[in-house]
Chain A
Amino acid sequence: MSAMSLRSLNLPGVGTKYEFQTDKGDTVAIFFTKTGTIQMYTLQKGCHTPSAAEMTPVEARRLGNILTGAIIEADQESVEIAFSALADLRVTIHSFLIPKTVSGKTIEDLQIRAKTGATVIAVCRNDMNIVNPAPSFVFEAGDTALVIGESDQIKMFERQITVD
């Protein structure tokens, strides 16, 4: 696979431009303008006029979430929430299917907080929700755990707990 070449450029008075070409030859360009809006242009290979969409920062972030695939994973979904007032704090909430390897162990046994930094805030078992499970809570195969943390902590959880 060829590496995607991302070109970034600062246009005086306008803002910052990011542009890259896809493997198939289409071009995507994003401009963060000084007016605070974000413009996204796409230019199909062989065409001369790009089409453009102008977005507010919130809309752009939503588009980003869609593009990273965060929202639309069916039984394992994840939402990132950014709190711009709290020094741009970003919290991710992710749901995981509990594998057989973890079945029968408690949250305490797994040392989830110590090992990953993430916290299990709810478990869904047979369409019943157990909110804020105690450390002595015993997982069963087929449970869905809702985990909260920063994206790194979520990744750590995925690696350490659900994949063995």
Chain B
Amino acid sequence: MEGFIIALFVCLVLALISKYLSIPAIPLYILGGILLGKAGLGIVHLDDVSHFFSEIGLLFLLFFMGLELKLERIVANPTKVLTAGLIGLTVDMGIGFTGAYLLGFSLMEAFIVGAAFYITSTAIVVTSLIENRKLMFKETETIIWVTVFEDIILIIILALLSASDQILLLFFVKIALALAFMYAISFYGKEFLISVLDREDELPILFTFAAVLVTASFSLYLGIPETLMVIALGAALATTDPDAFEQHARPFKDVFLVMFFVFFGVTIDFSGGINWSIIAIICALAVLSKLISGMIIGLVIHNSAMSGLEIWANMISRGEFSIALAVLYGSPLIATTVAVLVIVTAIVGSFTAKYSTRLRSGIIHYGRKKALMHRPN
């Protein structure tokens, strides 16, 4: 328990540092965890209490993702979302998976590394777009749509990974029943839910917390993945009053997700045969592959390499979803790889996002100078 309090205090300090220096907090939390845990000082260990809290953090992250998941928006804008999304999926997942496989991961491990390698951190991307005042850039809409597309791919990946050791038909029947139940409650109980959420007392926040935890434990009981069910719960409840649910779920997400990141760092172990050069290659590939996919998206959607550069600069950071995949399905080796991947890409990404306009004008300037020098007299 002392370890937990120490971790909490360290988080608070790290959160302050991140806000004052305006750098993303996720890599800091992981670094803090690594420093306190197995690989560092060894004063904080993962026990039942901290494990439970981290799990709640993950559930609320996924619940939030479900709340934000509005399929009708994608249907309203299909070609752009699909084109940009599919380019990202093919290039990044392709490079991540092939790279990891060639570097010696097994087929299954390479798939998980590839998925973690592919998925951008929506949290870091959105925060940096707002902080760097880039919301009006034409590339911003594309970036947001790509992250929405990635969320859907993440759901498919989670479904594939959890379906692999099940009797498929029974599994899908159970999932379909659970989905039908949640949507029926959201549909027929809409007015009741909204009246609960409108109350000024403790009821709305208690209801939100209970809905997520009850869904998760029922899913475990039924033998269906609680991760998927919590996303589905978010998507179902988003048909009632998504803003109210976001408001009531936010405190839980904010606190427990930080615990999730720190205790992910705590469990990282550098002792057993870590091949640093492999991890370094994966990190370098992670930055490079987003450059390739960003360039293609920029050229296809905006007809401009400069737009591609802007998309790359803002989409390098991996974060919460990569960690979630590593925690749920990864071996200790994958966890270490993903931890370093997130730290490196988030730090590199925060710099490129901050200085991309300067980079772009630098390139344009250089291009003009070169053109002038080569101009025949």
Contacts and interface: CB of A to CB of B under 8 A. Distances in A.
Contact of A52 (B126, B136, B147): B136
Interface residues of A, number: 21
Interface string B112-156: 000000000010001001100101110011001001100000000
B126 A14 contact: yes
Nearest to A49: B357
Interface in B30-84: 68-70, 73
A29 B141 CA distance: 13
Contact of A13 (B68, B136, B141, B357): B68
Nearest to B126: A13
B6 to A, nearest CB: 29
A13 B133 contact: no
Chain B interface size band reads: 10 to 19
A132 interface: no
A103 interface: no
A156 interface: no
Interface string A33-70: 10101010101000001101010000000000000000
B70 A12 contact: yes
A10 interface: yes
B144 A14 contact: yes
Given A29-B136, A35-B130, A41-B135, A12 B68 contact: yes
A161 B70 CA distance: 51
Consensus secondary structure, chain A interface: strand
Contacts of A41: 133, 135-136
Contacts of B126: 13-14
Contact of A39 (B69, B70, B122, B135): B135
A157 interface: no
Contacts of B135: 11, 14, 17, 29, 31, 33, 39, 41, 52
Contacts of B148: 12
A59 B135 CA distance: 19
A87 to B, nearest CB: 13
Contact of B130 (A19, A29, A39, A43): A39
Contacts of A54: 133
Contacts of A29: 135-136
Contacts of A37: 130
A13 B73 CA distance: 13
B200 to A, nearest CB: 13
Interface of B: 68-70, 73, 122, 126, 129-130, 133, 135-137, 140-141, 144, 147-148, 357
Across the A-B interface, the 6 shortest Cβ-Cβ residue pairs? A41-B136, A52-B133, A50-B136, A29-B136, A31-B135, A13-B126
16 contacts: A10-B73, A11-B135, A11-B140, A12-B73, A14-B126, A14-B129, A14-B130, A14-B135, A14-B144, A17-B135, A27-B136, A31-B135, A41-B133, A41-B136, A52-B135, A54-B133
Interface of A: 9-14, 17, 19, 27, 29, 31, 33, 35, 37, 39, 41, 43, 49-50, 52, 54
Given A11-B135, A33-B130, A33-B135, 4 more contacts: A9-B141, A14-B130, A29-B136, A52-B136
